[in-house]
């Protein structure tokens, strides 16, 4: 098994592991949009990979068996983000035959190391029940806030 930071030669496989993750997490809801999502993923990875989006991957042969993504956001400096740079962790996923071997932990540790190096103020993520223990062990804490998370969804008005 090889663990590495993804590069342009990995874009097709990044798309494939993202689709596997979406099918695992969202089951039926991806079906109607799968071809559009694949197209958009290829475009996104080509434009953003190793600029404001990074991916660590574990390879068995030339197939990605595990992934961890981080997307970097820049915003005006604030009390909680002096540098104005935060990271959002996405797509921490391992294919079924390779789970419970510490691979996702290794990949997430690499993301944390990179985030520190590029001087992010913090990293955030949304944890599943399955991932909660891992993230907690790595130092992620639940957010206590006076704010209510909300979104305006252009796709489902």
Q: For residue range 27-71, what is the model confidence (pLDDT) as tens digits?
A: 767 777 888 999 999 999 999 999 999 999 999 988 899 999 999
CA distance 93 to 67: 5
CA distance 46 to 133: 33
| Sign of CA pseudo-dihedral 61, 65, 66, 72 | positive
The answer to whether 14 and 67 have CB atoms below 8 angstroms apart is yes
**Stronger pLDDT, 25 or 52, i.e. the higher one:** 52
Going from the N-terminus, what domains does the chain have, and what CATH number goes with each? Answer: 2-137 (3.40.630.30)
Q: How far is CA 75 from CA 79, 120, 135, in A?
A: 12, 11, 25
pLDDT at residue 103 greater than cutoff 70: yes
What pLDDT score was predicted for residue 101? 93
pLDDT at 156 over 90: no
How large is the average pLDDT for residues 96-125? 93
The pLDDT of residue 157 is 62
Mean pLDDT of the chain: 91
């Amino acid at each position: 098994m090889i663990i590495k930071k993804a590069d342009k030669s990995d874009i097709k496989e990044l798309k494939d592991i993202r689709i596997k993750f979406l099918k695992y997490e969202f089951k039926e809801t991806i079906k109607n949009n799968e071809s559009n999502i694949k197209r958009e993923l290829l475009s996104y990875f080509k434009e953003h990979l190793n600029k404001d989006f990074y991916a660590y991957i574990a390879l068995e042969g030339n197939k990605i068996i595990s992934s961890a993504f981080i997307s970097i956001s820049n915003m005006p400096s604030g009390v909680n983000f002096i540098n104005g740079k935060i990271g959002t962790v996405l797509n921490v996923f391992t294919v079924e035959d390779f789970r419970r071997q510490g691979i996702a932990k290794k990949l997430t540790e690499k993301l944390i190391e990179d985030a520190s190096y590029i001087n992010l103020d913090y990293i955030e993520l949304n944890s599943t029940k399955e991932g909660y223990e891992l993230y907690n062990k790595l130092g992620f804490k639940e957010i206590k806030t006076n704010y209510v998370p909300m979104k305006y969804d252009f796709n489902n008005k």
